Copies of this chain bind each other. A is one copy, B any other.
Amino acid sequence: MLPLCWRVSDADRMSDVIEVPVPLAGHSYRVVVGSGLLPCAGARIRAVSQASRCALVTDSIVGPLYAEMVRRSLEESGFDVVIITVPSGESSKSLTQVAFVCDAMIEAGLDRSALLVALGGGVVGDLAGFIAAIYYRGIPFVQIPTTIVAQVDSSIGGKTGVNAAGGKNLLGAFHQPVLVLADVSTLSTLPEREFNEGFAEVIKHAAIRDRAMLDQFDDLTSLVARNVAIKAAIVTEDEFETKGVRALLNFGHTIGHGIEAAAGYGRFLHGEAISLGLVAACRLSVQKAGLPPADADLLISMLARYRLPLVLPSDISTDNILQALRKDKKFHAGAVRFVLLRALGEAFVSSEITEKDIVNAIEGLR
């Protein structure tokens, strides 16, 4: 049985739909958070797009669950839909898949008047968003994120891109969606591990901007919307990451990305690697920025509550992590810009963290 499809006017009256505006100059959009949004996605998308044709880009896990439901809704709203499916997993964030999807779109006759809809987790959103950025030099796109990480983080803010052989997210574009539909019902089909990993980014948001959120993890719609609001505020302050504000979102990500790459993609989920990065960044914050140890412990206990890893496996060498780190985009012109916490909810970018500090922090995870 499909969930009941409300008409938009009804949906808008429902108490459990929260809309968060992302008021960017020239390309504002809304993030709609709620449950049961997928079966009536078409009407909400029609409200922001006059396109007649649309590519629905999804992956081999999410597609079988939701693509037909979304396709039907899009067709009811007058879109002619072609579904394009990429393999699930990080390896699909590649120029090879860019070429595959673009060729399928060209084959289907989609031109610059088409719309792209990304249905899936962060990989699909980043890949499809990048394709929307470059297809005919840019077409509009809608994000329908289906994981917690994608709903609270990657679908908002317009960072799109793919990985290069030499590092993650090195090729990309800033391209904002015209609408984000975050349907929390899709989170119920996530395996436990994928559900839990999402909380690494939620805990990160609390750490850098919203300590009080740590006590309010119960209602998913409210929690997702609160995280969307944090991300939206930061993106609005610093759309192109030129003012040092957006960089705060990298809390836990410098070492986290290094661990993710050194472990080999696929071993840790992104959020799991970020959990380790958050632990290291918390401890560095205690040592270097006066974060009260009890606050660090609180954050670490929240990570533990979602069964996220706190200890680095011994077979992942510090050298390999450092090597991966040096390829990270955050190593600006060779210098480390590291995000620390003065207190829970108060993050800042430090230039005082040396490579030796990072080595010690990694060793401290063992």
Residues of A within 8 A of B (CB): 52, 95, 98-99, 102-103, 106-107, 111-113, 130, 133-138, 159, 161, 164-167, 170-174, 327, 329, 331-334
Asked whether, in the complex, the Cβ of B165 is within 8 Å of the Cβ of A113, the reply is: no
Asked whether, in the complex, the Cβ of A333 is within 8 Å of the Cβ of B113, the reply is: yes
Given contacts A113-B332, A331-B111, A332-B111, contact A102 B134 (CB under 8 A): no
Distance between Cα atoms of A111 and B130 in the complex (Å): 19
Given contacts A164-B99, A165-B106, contact A329 B172 (CB under 8 A): no
Most chain B C-beta atoms within 10 Å of own C-beta, residue among A111, A138, A173, A333:
A111
Interface SS of A by simple majority? mixed
9 closest A-B pairs (Cβ-Cβ)? A106-B166, A113-B333, A137-B172, A134-B171, A95-B95, A95-B99, A103-B165, A102-B164, A106-B164
Asked whether, in the complex, the Cβ of B112 is within 8 Å of the Cβ of A329, the reply is: yes
Q: Which residues of B contact A170 (CB under 8 A)?
A: 102, 106, 135-136
Q: Which residues of B contact A135 (CB under 8 A)?
A: 170-171
Q: Which residues of B contact A111 (CB under 8 A)?
A: 329, 331-334
Q: Which residues of B contact A137 (CB under 8 A)?
A: 159, 161, 172-174
What is the chain B residue whose CB lies nearest that of A167? Answer: B106
Number of copies: 2
Q: Which residues of B contact A164 (CB under 8 A)?
A: 99, 102-103, 106
Q: Which residues of B contact A106 (CB under 8 A)?
A: 164-167, 170, 327
Q: Which residues of B contact A98 (CB under 8 A)?
A: 95, 171
Q: Which residues of B contact A130 (CB under 8 A)?
A: 134
| 9 A-B pairs in the complex with CB atoms less than 8 angstroms apart | A102-B164, A103-B164, A103-B165, A103-B166, A111-B329, A113-B333, A134-B134, A134-B171, A135-B170
Q: Which residues of B contact A112 (CB under 8 A)?
A: 329, 332-333
Distance between Cα atoms of A163 and B8 in the complex (Å): 40
Q: How far is the CB of A329 from chain B (nearest CB, A)?
A: 6
What is the chain B residue whose CB lies nearest that of A111? Answer: B333
Asked whether, in the complex, the Cβ of A171 is within 8 Å of the Cβ of B102, the reply is: yes
What is the chain B residue whose CB lies nearest that of A99? Answer: B95
Asked whether, in the complex, the Cβ of B107 is within 8 Å of the Cβ of A166, the reply is: yes
Q: Which residues of B contact A52 (CB under 8 A)?
A: 333
Instruction: Find A133's partner among B95, B173, B329 (CB 8 Å cutoff).
Output: B173
Q: How far is the CB of A336 from chain B (nearest CB, A)?
A: 12
Asked whether, in the complex, the Cβ of A138 is within 8 Å of the Cβ of B102, the reply is: no
Q: Which residues of B contact A334 (CB under 8 A)?
A: 111
Asked whether, in the complex, the Cβ of B173 is within 8 Å of the Cβ of A134, the reply is: yes
Instruction: Find A136's partner among B102, B133, B138, B329 (CB 8 Å cutoff).
Output: B329
Asked whether, in the complex, the Cβ of A134 is within 8 Å of the Cβ of B161, the reply is: yes
Q: Which residues of B contact A161 (CB under 8 A)?
A: 134, 137
Q: How far is the CB of A84 from chain B (nearest CB, A)?
A: 14
What is the chain B residue whose CB lies nearest that of A331? Answer: B111
Q: How far is the CB of A126 from chain B (nearest CB, A)?
A: 12
Q: How far is the CB of A332 from chain B (nearest CB, A)?
A: 7
Q: Which residues of B contact A134 (CB under 8 A)?
A: 130, 134, 161, 171-173
Q: Which residues of B contact A133 (CB under 8 A)?
A: 173
Distance between Cα atoms of A34 and B106 in the complex (Å): 41
